[in-house]
Amino acid sequence: MTQNTSTREISATNTDARSLAGQHALVTGGSEGIGYGIAERLLDAGVTISLAARRQEVLGAAVEKLQTRCDRTDRVSGIVADISDAESIAAMFETAQDRNGPLNVLVANAGSGSVVPFLELTRQQWQDCIDLNLTGTFLCVQAAARSMIERTDENRSIIVVSSIRALGARPSLVPYGTSKAGLNQLVRLAAYELASTGVRVNALSPGITATPLAQERNNLFDERAATVPMGRAGTPADMAAAALYLASADSAFVTGTNLVVDGGESLY
């Protein structure tokens, strides 16, 4: 099977852009990879983007690149934020609303992981992963929900980027897999409690995805991508297409689901 890791360009003309035009989305971990791909697709659908990331230089470059895709540069703005820090999260939401108004869509994408054998794992490595992937995402979802529940006549969607590593077992991924499994249950429970308010909460679970970070950290990337039933790794564009559906009114009756986008990887 031949792997094709090139990013696919997807036109926004295939979606009902009217459902998202003029809306506001906050994308965490949005300066690279999957987060950037999602921000790009939402921008093409008419959304105003608050892009959040930790590194100022990388964030600034991402914002500038996105601004070249739209009619007004003020439709994309960057916020330096650390999702493992509660005060930084609170400041991020305040800044996003001050700049771009009420939030319609949260894409909680910020997260990280490392490959460390279980017996070599330190408490600090465990805690760092849980603080960012699980606790930080919980705080983002809660803050977004609190800001959304007062508005009943608008599209309001929370998308949590999880992983198929929460569904199966691979060695040396204990904190990452555990944190993502926790996110899946967070989505289910939050979706149940918020359903009566009209706020939707869903998970998006990518499989192996051709991002620069994934390819740099995994010297077996090509070998593992070739074992995916559909013959290649996913791309940020694949994840963005799924996120666009979950963000839009097309998914108005969808909440608490885990949308797996992995080319069949989790089937074995």
pLDDT digits (tens, 9 = 90+) for 60-81: 999 999 999 988 889 999 999 9
Mean local confidence (pLDDT), 240-252: 97
pLDDT, residue 154, reads 83
pTM: 0.91
Mean local confidence (pLDDT), 82-105: 98
Q: Classify domain 16-208+234-261 at the CATH superfamily level.
A: NAD(P)-binding Rossmann-like Domain (3.40.50.720)
Task: Specify the higher pLDDT residue, 7 or 25.
Answer: 25
Query: Does the annotation mark 176 as catalytic?
Result: yes
Select which of 36, 176, 192, 268 is catalytic.
Answer: 176
Mean local confidence (pLDDT), 219-247: 94
Say whether pLDDT at 99 is over 70.
Answer: yes
Say whether pLDDT at 106 is over 50.
Answer: yes
pLDDT, residue 15, reads 44
Tokens read off for 2? 């031949």
